[in-house]
Amino acid sequence: MTVKTYLTVLSICLCCLMLKQANAQLILNDLKWEYGVKTSLNFNTIGASYGTYNGAGMWGAGLFIQTRIFPQVDLSIEPGFLNTGMRQKQSDTRYRTRHIELPLIVKVDPWDDDAVFFFGGIRPTYLLGYSSEIFTNGAYKKIDLAENKNKQGQFDLGIMFGSTIRLSPVVSIDFSYTYSLTNYTNSSEIAGMPSLIEATLKINAVDLKEALDSKNEAIKTQINNFKQGALLVMLPTISKKETLKYKSEEDLFYALNELKIRNTRVVNEFNRYYNFNKLYFFYDTTAYRIASGNTEGIFLNNQLLPDSSINIASLKNTLVASFCNDISNYSQRFGFGLFVYDINMTQLGKPYNVPSQMFSLFAEGDPINYFKTRKVNYTNLPFDRVIKKFNGRLFRYSYTE
């Protein structure tokens, strides 16, 4: 009995044993099945045996289904599609194969930390197709070669072993070596599946869903806490430096009047369409005091005048919103819309900021005035529509069954 035949029989016996043990465990316990997608890069190692060949980097893709069958032991079934390739250096001939594979793998978590695994298993494959390409007239051309002994529909078998590193609860990478039991390639013939080294990226769909659900729950909790707080609406002003951009008093008066009209509309429409929590208004010239926690005397009444009688008990669960160009240091954008920040003026992600809160650059605005000062424009934009959508989105996320 040859070594390859012995290893083939041994691998089949191991497979039967694993299935028997897994079936016994399945009867005893309800197993938690996980699944996901995978993509891989492989390299044919034929060059290590025959110097006339070079291995080629190829790719694979597929699915995986796995479950824990014993403490610290997982069983994984990984159907997929596999490409392999190599090149004959002397004649500059390329050989490609395309397989359907069904690896059966046992993974061991030796330190029970769900971070590093070692695995081994069998890798049966079915040959979908193969090709030979010879370099001629400046390009590779497919050609039938007598030395390519592969046959469509043939079955091959390999033994896999390697390690898995989990980069996160969702993403992991496998590093593996597949020793082919049916690799009959030599210096004069191409036959059978090659041995491979491989790196495989896996995304666990079950863990991804759990991570998204957990994130949504965290957002829901945050928004429900925010419901007990307040929204501070920041209104833009024209600074002394910006007034220098205007060539005449008439232009400056026009800009100030347009800004007042816009701010008045924003205040009125927030009061009308926003009721998720309490509202306060302030000018951007006092934004630094929000971050420091000193809000005494900065809030405005509906006439846009400072009113010392308006106070906020606490800045806990408080956010800042403004119709402006994004002023965040971390996500600067050349655009205008409703932006939402924490009290340190760091822009927040979804669901507080979404693309539908952005306006187009010159929509109903004056492009010349826009470039004079990016704060004074868009007095006729539909602020009410954006405010209503923002208010409704907060209520939807805060809803709990």
Residue 183 or 251, more confident: 183
Query: H/E/C letters for each residue in 287-319?
Result: HHHHHHCCCCCCEECCCCCECCCCCCCCCCCEE
Cα Rg of the chain (Å, integer): 33
CB 26 within 8 A of CB 178: no
Smallest Cα–Cα separation from 92: which of 41, 128, 131, 132?
A: 132
CB 362 within 8 A of CB 368: no
Render pLDDT for 160-179 as a digit per residue (tens, 0 to 9).
Answer: 999 999 998 899 999 999 99
Residue 27 has pLDDT above 70, yes or no: no
d(CA 224, CA 126): 55
Residue 367 has pLDDT above 50, yes or no: no
Least confident of 48-57, 159-168, 217-226, 355-364: 355-364
> What mean pLDDT value characterizes the chain?
84
**To which residue do tokens 């957990």 refer?**
214
pLDDT of residue 12: 57
Domain ranges of the chain: 3-210, 228-398
Render pLDDT for 131-160 as a digit per residue (tens, 0 to 9).
Answer: 988 888 778 888 888 889 999 999 999 999
Residue 232 has pLDDT above 70, yes or no: yes
Residue 259 has pLDDT above 90, yes or no: no
Structure tokens at 301: 């009444």
CB 83 within 8 A of CB 48: no
Residue 169 or 181, more confident: 181
Q: At what angle do helices 249-273 and 383-398 cross, to 10 degrees?
A: 30
pLDDT of residue 401: 47
pLDDT of residue 360: 62
Cα 305 off chain centre by: 46
Prior bond of 351 cis (ω within 30°): yes
**Global pTM?**
0.61
Structure tokens at 272: 């009308």
Render pLDDT for 42-86 as a digit per residue (tens, 0 to 9).
Answer: 999 988 888 888 889 999 999 999 999 999 999 999 999 999 999
d(CA 293, CA 314): 9
pLDDT of residue 188: 84
Which numeric CATH code is attached to 3-210?
Answer: 2.40.160.20
Residue 135 or 376, more confident: 135
